[in-house]
Amino acid sequence: MSQLIYNHFDRDVHPPYLAPGYKSTVLRAPTQPLVVIKQSLSELTGPVFGDMHVGPHDHDLTKNSVKNGQPLGERIVIHGYVRDENGRPIPHTLIEIWQANAAGRYVHKVDQHDAPLDPNFLGAGRVMTDVEGYYKFYTIKPGAYPWSNHYNAWRPNHIHFSLFGPNITTRLVTQMYFAGDPLLPYDPVYLSIPPKGRELLLCQFDLGVTEPHFALGYRFDFVLRGHNETPFETR
């Protein structure tokens, strides 16, 4: 798990703190040089996750919140590996996802998008990687939705990912996009990532994991350090 410790960023991959096209970063970006604070016990230990924290259907968003029927939308399978810069697997890592439903609506009181909520879709799940660093989720392909960044702004289809390391400072939060989405060239969040890093956030269609008559498959791998490291979510 030590490979989850980040000592530096590749500025050719990771987005800058300030990306003027992405309006929120104007308020969030630091205006003074960062101050490195000595790590205390709370940063050096925990959280510790195990199988007891993951339910039998937590990885399956088509089942983990079903009430009166199946969730609406296109079912998909997302799978892949978590590895370090040398290709070694990172086992027993907690991965969480959250996303909008097929209509582009989050189950959150702040989301007031005029789109229907799905009573059978919570939009959140989690799973532990196995000994080979492998993970798999079942979910619904998220819809696009408007946001207030600029006039007629729409977020492309995307899923948020969070990977936890051995302590609170070793967490990777990022987004996964779908190749060929027509909104990508217009999205300030995606465009804030340097060109070298954008391809690393695109999942790829995978016929091998596609399940006949049920769900299309996509592969999305994580590399935690090195030349092909997965970019952090824009701050």
Point out the residues that are catalytic: 106, 145, 155, 158, 160
Q: How many CB atoms are located within 10 Å of the residue 214 CB?
A: 12
Q: Which is nearest to 64 in space by CA: 17, 141, 120, 131? A: 120
Q: Are 214 and 76 in contact (CB under 8 A)?
A: no
Q: Which amino acid is at 174?
A: T
Cβ-based burial of 16 (10 A; exposed 0-12, middle 13-18, buried ≥19): middle
Q: What are residue 83's DSSP bridge partners?
A: 89, 223
Lookup: tokens for 98:
């959250």
Q: Are 60 and 137 in contact (CB under 8 A)?
A: yes
